[in-house]
Amino acid sequence: MSIEPFDAVDVISIKRDGGAVPEDALRWMVDAYTRGYVADAQMASFAMAILLNGMQRDEIRVMTEAMIASGERMSFAGLGKKTVDKHSTGGVGDKITLPLAPLVASFGVAVPQLSGRGLGHTGGTLDKLESIPGWRAALTNDELVAQLRGVGAVICAAGSGLAPADKKLYALRDVTGTVEAIPLIASSIMSKKIAEGTDSLVLDVKFGSGAFMKDVDRARELARTMVALGTDSGVATTALLTDMNTPLGLAIGNANEVRESVEVLAGGGPADVVELTVALAREMLALAGQPDADVEAALRDGRAMDAWREMIRAQDGDPDAALPEPRETHTVTADADGVVTRLEALPFGVAAWRLGAGRARAQDPVIHAAGIDLHVKPGDRVVAGQALFTLLADDETRFARALDALDDAWTIGAEAPPSSPLVLERITA
């Protein structure tokens, strides 16, 4: 039996006392935890010390590298085209990946979009796409590479081989009150993205009611930390800081978000979804060496739609199939004339989840037809009796709890609210 070079208690104590953990000790800590030598209780204590005392930039880099080293690293070096990926920190109505991946791929760039499932009030990209009959999320590495070479865009599940240390630590953070630690969030996201092997990466870091980071300053700190991690690892990385106080678009759910994404690809769709899709596409194409690409033209002339249809077919989906429809609907109307001054993202996300669009536990199924269709956005003028939004469910008994979540989630006032930018800031290395 080999003797371990470090002791977990010593490593925890350094961080507990506000010190910087030496590189070799930090690499050992991550490896020993992945192997099962460091116990959950010890790693929980270390994670809490990180939450309370933070980490230096070099420590976060070492932690991320150690998490990457716990599993496999993919490479797209033989593709013959540049690769660029996008990661969003998640929000309500955030379906941007769906139109974005084929849009960017229509410029000859490969987009390997390894995505996840929803948990709680934020939807999962894979859950949305599984509304499409036949579509499958699980691809082998060979299938993924072949699709990138041919179609150019892939949205699929990440393999279990990428950063297994993160998977283990993520589950522990969830039950120990350490999810919010910025060094741990950053290393979790970036270990998977760097291990994925993309040349460049654009981050959509959200702030506000429906975002993981409610506070704009903490969202900015997270964005800067992740951009630094990508840059230090040789991945060209930029971030956009975007507003998630109001749901994105008019659809919150799964099947209805696919419908809205297809509208965007057809040259229509809600203005905010189009704005963010175009902003992120420009950012991704600039990193891939095409700073002057005419993104709007690809939405107008059908190139992005062609790439979408190819992408869906390549994963056994039928882009022409009817999407699931809800069995039950319930529409909420305005009780007075005026202007919609507020639609708060978080309650609408929670309501959609209670209607069946999301899951409380990882093993729960989602109801693809469930969700909410908004009929108005802040700034819209309404009259009493006008439809504000419609709840969608397969079981009408779900409406009461969804309506409870929406108590005081919107306001109708006399004047339009001041407009605030959707994209607040661009963050680079």
Note if 419 is an active site residue: no
User: What is the rounded end-to-end Cα distance, in angstroms, of the chain?
Assistant: 45
Tell me which of 82, 87, 193, 398 is the catalytic residue: 87
Q: What is residue 9's three-state secondary structure?
A: helix
DSSP β-bridge partners for residue 238: 202
Sequence-separated (6 or more) residues with CB below 8 Å from residue 342: 246, 378, 410, 411, 417
Residue of 187, 188, 233, 261 marked catalytic? 188
Which residue in the list 192, 206, 330, 368 is annotated as catalytic?
192
Establish whether 188 is a catalytic residue.
yes
Task: Indicate if 404 belongs to the active site.
Answer: no
Identified catalytic residue from 95, 121, 128, 173? 173
Q: How far apart are CA 153 and CA 311, in angstroms?
A: 6
Q: Which of 144, 131, 77, 108 has the alpha carbon at shortest distance from 318? A: 131
> Which of 166, 199, 243, 373 is flagged as catalytic?
166
Sequence-distant (≥ 6) Cβ neighbours of residue 155 within 8 angstroms = 97, 98, 101, 113, 115, 125, 126, 129, 311
Q: For the purposes of burial, counting CB atoms within 10 Å of the CB of 40, is it exposed (0-12), middle (13-18) or buried (19 or more)?
A: middle
Q: The tokens 């009493």 sit on which residue? A: 384
Other CB atoms within 10 Å distance of the CB of residue 173: 22
Is 368 assigned a catalytic role? no
Torsion of CA 303, 309, 310, 311, to 10 degrees: 110
Can 420 be counted among the known catalytic residues?
A: no
Residue 213 DSSP code = B
> Which active-site residues does the annotation give?
87, 166, 173, 188, 192
